[in-house]
Amino acid sequence: MLGVGGLLFGASFLIAIASPHFLTAFNLENLVRRSALFGILGVGVSFVIITGGIDLSIGSLVCLVGVLTPWLLVEQGVHPVVAVGGLLTLSLLLGVLHGVLITRLRLQPFLVTLCGLLIYRGLARGITGDQTQGFEGGFHTLRKLGNGRLPLFEGVAIPAPFLFLVVVALLAALLLGRTIWGRYLFAIGRNETAVRYSGIDVDRMKILAYGICGFSSGLGGLLFVLDVGSAQPVDFGSFYELYAIAAAVLGGCSLRGGEGTILGVLLGAAVMQVLQNGITLIDAIPNNVEYAVIGAVILFGVITDESVRRVIARRRGEGKVEGR
Partner 1 sequence: MTTPAVLSARGIVKRFPGVLALDGVDLTVRAGEAVAVIGENGAGKSTLMKVLAGIHAPDEGELRIDGRPLHLRGVREAIAAGIALIHQELNLADNLDVGANIFLGREPRRCGWIDRARIERESRALLLRVGLDIHPHTPTAALSIGPRQLVEIARALGQEARFLILDEPTSSLSAAETERLMELCAELRRDGTGVVYISHRLGEVSRVADRVVVLRDGRRAGELSHEEIDRDRMVRWMVGRDLDASDRVGHVPGDTVLEVVGLRLAPAGPTIDLTARSGEIVGLAGLVGAGRTELLESIFGVRARTSGTVRVLGREVPAGNPRRSVAAGLALVPEERGHQGLVLDGSVRENIALPGWRRFSRRGLAIEARARAESARVIESLDIRTSDDRRPAGTLSGGNQQKVVLGKWLPLEPRVLLLDEPTRGVDVGARLEIHRRLAALAGDGLAILFASSEMEEVLALADRLLVMHDGRIAGELLRDELSEEAVLQLATGGGQAA
Structural contact between residues 5 and 304, judged by C-beta atoms closer than 8 angstroms: no
Asked whether position 106 contacts partner 1 by CB under 8 A, the answer is: no
**Contacting residue, 156, 178, 291, 303, with partner 1 by CB under 8 A:** 178
Asked whether position 319 contacts partner 1 by CB under 8 A, the answer is: yes
How far is 157 from 298, CA to CA, in rounded Å? 30
How far is 211 from 215, CA to CA, in rounded Å? 6
**Contacting residue, 105, 151, 283, 320, with partner 1 by CB under 8 A:** 320
Nearest residue (CB) to partner 1, 141 versus 324: 324
String of contacts with partner 1 for each residue 200-229, x by CB under 8 A: xx----------------------------
How far is 314 from 143, CA to CA, in rounded Å? 52
Using alpha carbons, select from 47, 27, 43, 277 the residue that is nearest to residue 165: 43
How many residues lie near partner 1 (CB under 8 A)?
Answer: 28
Nearest residue (CB) to partner 1, 136 versus 201: 201
Asked whether position 167 contacts partner 1 by CB under 8 A, the answer is: no
Structural contact between residues 277 and 295, judged by C-beta atoms closer than 8 angstroms: no
Give whole-number Cα distances, 12 to 138, 149, 289, in Å.
Answer: 36, 23, 19
Nearest residue (CB) to partner 1, 77 versus 323: 323
Vertex 56, ends 52 and 57: CA angle to 5°?
125
Residues 253-282 that bind partner 1 (CB under 8 A): 258
Any bridge partners for residue 159, and if so which?
A: 149
Give whole-number Cα distances, 320 to 313, 314, 315, in Å.
Answer: 11, 10, 10
Nearest residue (CB) to partner 1, 184 versus 215: 184
Structural contact between residues 182 and 176, judged by C-beta atoms closer than 8 angstroms: yes
User: DSSP readout, 287-312?
Assistant: GGGHHHHHHHHHHHHHHHHHHHHHHH
Nearest residue (CB) to partner 1, 139 versus 181: 181
Residues 179-198 that bind partner 1 (CB under 8 A): 179-184, 187, 190-191, 193-198
Nearest residue (CB) to partner 1, 154 versus 318: 318
**Contacting residue, 20, 77, 151, 323, with partner 1 by CB under 8 A:** 323
Nearest residue (CB) to partner 1, 137 versus 323: 323
| Residues lying near partner 1 in the complex (CB under 8 A) | 178-184, 187, 190-191, 193-201, 258, 317-324
